[in-house]
Amino acid sequence: MADYSITAANVAWVSGTPIQLSPAVANESMTAGQAFYFDNSNSQQAKKSDANASGKDGFDGIVMQTSVSSGQYFAYAPPGAVINPGCNMTPTDVVILSTNAGGLAPVADLASGSNLTLVGVALATTQLYIQKYQSSVTKP
């Protein structure tokens, strides 16, 4: 899967639902622009989302801090927010979880055996409307 090339320093909130502080700590290091989920089986700790890892294909938002360490609370953009994801997209791109932990990719690059989890839609070249949809469907 060809991920979008994200520059963490360029990730920024644009409009919509405000940035929130995570209710639980990160379970691993993360950077701005990465997708994550809160793990219900592990004290709600935040982990990088991964489209090809069973149980890790959940999605709760996009990390908004340049750098997050394991054990740290962090700022994130939830569904309903419009952000600059730190990369260029084609307007109307449907953005999904990547098979690379934390990564984002266009839906056209969904790899065989990957789970489809919608992250959002590109409103402009540098604007992503975050809209969560976990399909529980695996591409044959």
One-character DSSP codes across 44-90: T-EEE--TTSTT-----EEE-SSEE-TT---EEEPTTEEEE-SS---
CB atoms within 10 A of CB 125: 12
**What residues have CB less than 8 Å from 114, skipping those under 6 apart?**
1, 51, 52, 99, 138, 139
Domain locations in the chain? 8-138
Residue 25's closest CA among 41, 44, 40, 8?
Answer: 44
Q: Which residues of the chain have pLDDT under 70?
A: 1
Provide the pLDDT for residue 52: 86
Does the pTM surpass 0.85? The reply is yes
- In 3-state terms, what secondary structure has residue 108? helix
At 140 the pLDDT is 87
